[in-house]
Structure 1
């Protein structure tokens, strides 16, 4: 089994709390493969691991909220999703069983920023379709920005 743990900037950079819990969990389950996604505000070259990473952790990925494309107002790469990617992101947003392999591969292989995805036509279309089916009584701009912030 492969498990993805998503943490807000703590593990493996901060001692105690959630980080200690995660370390204990992963050490207690040596037969489970773990991938850690650490969400942080922005890259920090001074961060150092505070924990010895268990052998059953196959990958640690860092995701930054302050994406360089957005912060530096660079021209964004146009994002065009394949049918498989569209379905995976739609399931992530509105259903219960996203294909994590497709989502992780999308960001790893296409080198697309999160901001470019959330500002793209495909994201807009899937949000609009879901809105028209389920939330027509809500102001669309509020709904769109809520979906982008999730």
Structure 2
């Protein structure tokens, strides 16, 4: 089961980062690998979102439940249906003097045991690259002058 964890410091308060992370339906505006993110259901502290991603010409689709902890500015997500057997993780925002460390974790499983050994390392590399691209896009967005 591949696990990816990436982090990046941004030079702004987490109060500016967290609301952007919660607006997942806007991710495709600044993340080229995402085709679409649609909010299917929204409650006070959760959303159910439908995602379509294009990874090297392969369309990957999933629906996830996102749980928002506004007090701690933390987001946990878990696939409830989709192309992977398992897909879950969290967004963790840790303040430091002058900014915020954004950490994204992705824990996933391809789900086809016979080819998992071959595909998991490739997919892990792609997920890491995609996660790094997401963090860089968020950094650019939050550090941009108003």
What's the TM-score, normalizing by structure 2?
Answer: 0.24
Higher relative contact order (CA 8 A, sep 6+): 2
Higher helix share: 1
Higher strand share: 2
